[in-house]
Copies of this chain bind each other. A is one copy, B any other.
Amino acid sequence: MKFIQKEHGNGGKQTYELINGLFKPIFGSEILKRGDDSSIFDLASKKIGVTTDSFVVKPYFFKGGDIGKLSVCGTVNDLAVSGLVPKYITASFIIEEGFPIEDLQKIVRSMKEYADIAGVEIVAGDTKVVEKGSCDGIFINTTGFGVCEKEERLPSIEKIKGGQIVIVSGDIGRHGACIYSHSSELGVEEKIESDCAPLNRVINELLKNVEICYMKDLTRGGLATALNEIAQKASVDIYIEEDKVPVSNEVKALCDILGLDSYYLACEGRFVAVINKEDKQKTLEILKKYNKEACEIGWIEDTKEKRVYLKTSFGGTRILDMLYYEMLPRIC
């Protein structure tokens, strides 16, 4: 078995060999292959969107994906929920010496696979190697660019107002639960499958058919945190009905076992959308083609407390706040 060594990151001969022998053949982008200090290309429009994320998930292979797939989906999804068509991605690696090259290959292939599925091209990259103990296996940064096809279609926080409804694109908490289920000390037999997936297709179909007032992908902090961010930015209140929020049995089980709350568990292939009431049927029709669990979960009120409230199964109402606590394992 071959391992990453410090020389793979010193900028010299072995870095060159790693880039030309591993990254470029897998990524296969013509732009990337030029290997210049910057990658130059023509955009389809002058209005672009950019997003960046670093991925530090542990374990880096998990049920339903790996850090490579995650790093592509995460960035693609940030672009997609902003109403953009994801086009280009950069990939920057920080690797611990001793990392198995075979694993790196798997991760890089997985990035390529999901880049293809999402229709994005990997156009620039970087690799740093740090000594043993200076990072935890592998960290990946991806930065993505999307173009705006129709400006008036762009979701925007200003479009949110009272009376609109809140939709979730599928059952929540799978990715977070997946990562917990991998914790060896916990000893869960069959791991829970992550929901990690690119969302650009379903979103693209939505954008073409209904007016999406606002969207947000559910990542760290889960549904509760995403909704709170929306309430804050839009200066509205959001009401969620506990009974309507789709949560799988497995995720529920893990929450009970660990004393966690599924509203705060990360997803990596789910989003919430705020839409006008009249678009509900059409929206759900489209969403359900991709995920049967998609459903309406609540509504917007103009009361401007900037709070999220949860209507409980028993008819009570309580605050659903942002995440305050450490969710222990690393999830993205």
Residues of A whose CB lies within 8 Å of any CB of B are 5-7, 9-16, 34-56, 58, 77-79, 81-82, 84, 88, 90-94, 123-126, 128, 130-131, 133-136, 139, 141, 143-146, 148, 154, 157, 216-217, 219-222, 225, 229, 233, 264, 266, 321-327, 330, 332
Contacts and interface: CB of A to CB of B under 8 A. Distances in A.
Contacts of A84: 38, 40
7 contacts: A10-B326, A38-B82, A46-B46, A52-B92, A53-B92, A130-B330, A135-B139
A161 to B, nearest CB: 18
A188 B41 CA distance: 46
A11 B323 contact: yes
A12 B94 contact: no
Given A38-B84, A92-B52, A12 B229 contact: no
A203 to B, nearest CB: 11
B135 A221 contact: no
Contacts of A146: 38
Nearest to A220: B11
Given A46-B45, A52-B126, A92 B143 contact: yes
B93 A54 contact: yes
Contact of A42 (B41, B44, B47): B47
A222 B10 CA distance: 10
Contacts of A325: 7, 10, 12
Contacts of A79: 37-38
B50 A323 contact: no
A37 B217 contact: yes
B40 A49 contact: yes
Chain copies in the assembly? 2
Given A82-B36, A92-B141, A135-B135, A46 B47 contact: no
Given A7-B326, A136-B135, A37 B221 contact: no
A308 to B, nearest CB: 13
- Give the interface SS of chain A, mostly helix, strand, loop or mixed: mixed
Contacts of A92: 52-54, 141, 143
B10 A323 contact: yes
B135 A233 contact: no
Given A16-B229, A322-B12, A90 B39 contact: no
Contacts of A124: 50-52, 143
Contact of A145 (B11, B50, B332): B50
A330 B330 CA distance: 25
Given A43-B46, A139-B139, A324-B12, A128 B54 contact: yes
B40 A125 contact: no
A220 B14 CA distance: 12
B82 A323 contact: no
A50 B78 contact: no
A221 B15 contact: yes
Contacts of A34: 157
